[in-house]
Amino acid sequence: MIMLYDVFCAWLTGRSSLELRMEADSGDVSQPQHNGKSKPHKCTVCDKRFTTKCYLSFHIQTHTEQKSYSCPDCEKRYSNSKNLRHHMNIHSSKYKCNECGKCFRSNADLSAHRRTHSGEKPFECSVCGKLFAQAGNLIKHIGIHSGQKPHECDLCSKRFCFFSELHQHKREVHDNRRQYYCPYCGKLFKRAQHVKKHARVHTGAKPFSCRHCSESFRCRDTLKSHLLKSHNEGTLFTCHICHKKFSFNDNLEEHIRRHEGVKPYVCDLCQKCFCTSVELRRHQVVHSGAKNFCCGFCGKDFKRPDTVKQHVRRCPDVVEFDDML
């Protein structure tokens, strides 16, 4: 019965039954208990607990940087052969979406993706009735009602419901390493998917198409905004203070922080606080001394892109260029 339950969950959520069982063991997902079995195996990195040593060993691989298995097509690397085999399905187009042509690792991933086209939202919050297309989004949403945020960032004291959110926060806010670069312009990024998204500026690719009209977009977020504004499809998030509406919950959270004066992002050099990670990164340029932005007319270098825009308005070489036209 447990195996059938796992398969059913995997089919619904688009994730492997092992991943779901591991999350259930660690207490992140409200799943049936394992016959009262204790969780004696503890991760020394994040303190998650598991019922078996096997689940713990798979979980530990999420923390290690050693990735010995390399994809021969894209050179992406994995910590075990199973993940590599699943990844190779993307290149073979074994699980391909008929509507947008995107390829996936497994049939479960493809099934979960198809809900983005159909608009189906089978996961309902038992507290407020809100519907979600993905189980992971429902799990994160439930944290709003419970208020439990056991994972604290040791650098800025911000708290999170799940360790994965804390890990992502540290990587995007506190880790300044940018090891991925754009092959067209050389711009550096922290994550490989950010390079892929940025490269569409150079290639002109618009893989996200509206199913109601002929419009196409570079980013999924832009498509979502279009569906809300042009076709009244989707959910708007409303500020409970001023009733302003937003297309994305992240934007609403940032907006509410400004109402409340909360500034969780702290510069580790001068202790100045900011409302968003973007504002913090812009500020940190002041301390670095790097001048990565250049005027295309006179070649003068600047620390910030907004300073370049201000300079161009009064750049003497721009005036000379206008006179030549």
Best-predicted range by mean pLDDT (44-58, 185-199, 221-235): 221-235
Q: Could you tell me if residue 311 is inside a domain?
A: yes
Q: Could you tell me if residue 61 is inside a domain?
A: no
Q: Could you tell me if residue 148 is inside a domain?
A: no
Q: Could you tell me if residue 29 is inside a domain?
A: no
Q: Could you tell me if residue 302 is inside a domain?
A: yes
DSSP 40-56: -EE-TTT--EESSHHHH
How many structural domains does the chain have? 1
Cβ atoms within 10 Å of 207's Cβ, excluding its own: 14
Q: Is the pLDDT of residue 26 over 80?
A: no
Sorting pLDDT into bands at 50, 70 and 90, what band is 83? confident
Distances (CA, A) of 280 to 165, 261, 291, 297: 19, 15, 17, 29
Q: What is the pLDDT of residue 245?
A: 86
pTM of the model: 0.43
Strand segments (E) across 20-128? 41-42, 49-50, 69-70, 77-78, 95-96, 103-104, 123-124
Q: Is the pLDDT of residue 81 over 90?
A: no
Q: Could you tell me if residue 297 is inside a domain?
A: yes
What 3-state class would DSSP assign to 23?
A: helix
Q: List the domain range (segments joined by +) for residue 313.
A: 293-324
What residue type is 4 in one-letter code? L
Q: Could you tell me if residue 320 is inside a domain?
A: yes
Best-predicted range by mean pLDDT (4-8, 72-76, 194-198, 321-325): 194-198
Q: Could you tell me if residue 87 is inside a domain?
A: no
